[in-house]
Homo-oligomer: A and B are copies of this chain.
Amino acid sequence: MNAENGGTITLLIADDHPVVRDGLRGILEPADGFTVLGEASGGTEAVEMTLRMDPDVVLMDLRMSAGSGVEAIAELTRRGARARVLVLTTFDTDSDTLPAIEAGATGYLLKDALRDELFAAIRAAAEGRTVLSPAVASRLVTAVRSPAVPPVDDTLSAREVQVLEQVARGASNREIARRLFISEATVKTHLIHIYGKLDARDRAAAVAVAYQRGILG
């Protein structure tokens, strides 16, 4: 963290809005312990400047016209840049929150953060500590608790419905295979998918759920 350079933390500001860049520089330059090495107006430029100037921390906006923030972060990670990236955005509901963190961002802060919060976050990021705004933190926890959260598709495919119809008639897997001109292995595969989609433990429960949902009957 370049602590040997007078104990100051070197920074790069990456944001495509001049007003924001100026605002950040205006806040950081007068403060003790921060040195702004430069400003980038796009992702691509941010990568180039970071590699060249080697700042301790990059303050990165995610929505930029010339190269997205997430791609820039990923590129820096890939290149093994020493700089920590602290994401600074307007929205905490941004769909890029998780991708940014996955790409390698050390922290994620909202632009409406208080001055002292910003200072603390930059120092934390410089030390490699993760800093997240409360809203982002809770979203992260939720995302981790229900991994991937692919909004599980409940809908049975046409083939699965055909299999289930046979099951409701009391057909064995072998009979279903014969009637649908497929192998028993395939029938079993369909059934396991059906159990998963209907949250059923066996064919009897699957038939019950199917009737309750109007899939059968």
Contacts and interface: CB of A to CB of B under 8 A. Distances in A.
A64 interface: no
Contact of A204 (B206, B212, B217): B206
B201 A204 contact: no
Interface in A183-217: 200-208, 211-212, 216-217
A172 B207 CA distance: 15
Interface stretch (A96-104, A126-134, A163-171): A163-171
**From A170, A172, A200, A203, residue with most partner B Cβ within 10 Å:** A170
A66 to B, nearest CB: 56
Chain A interface main SS type? helix
A211 B204 contact: no
Contacts of A167: 204
A95 to B, nearest CB: 37
A216 to B, nearest CB: 7
Nearest to A198: B170
Nearest to A168: B208
A202 B206 CA distance: 13
Contacts of A211: 207-208, 211, 216-217
Contacts of A202: 170, 172, 203-204
A19 to B, nearest CB: 61
A194 to B, nearest CB: 11
Given A170-B201, A204-B204, A204-B206, 10 more contacts: A169-B205, A169-B208, A170-B200, A170-B204, A202-B204, A204-B207, A205-B207, A207-B207, A211-B211, A211-B216
Interface of A: 167-170, 172, 200-208, 211-212, 216-217
15 contacts: A167-B204, A168-B204, A168-B207, A170-B201, A170-B202, A170-B204, A170-B208, A202-B204, A203-B204, A204-B204, A204-B207, A207-B207, A207-B208, A211-B211, A211-B216
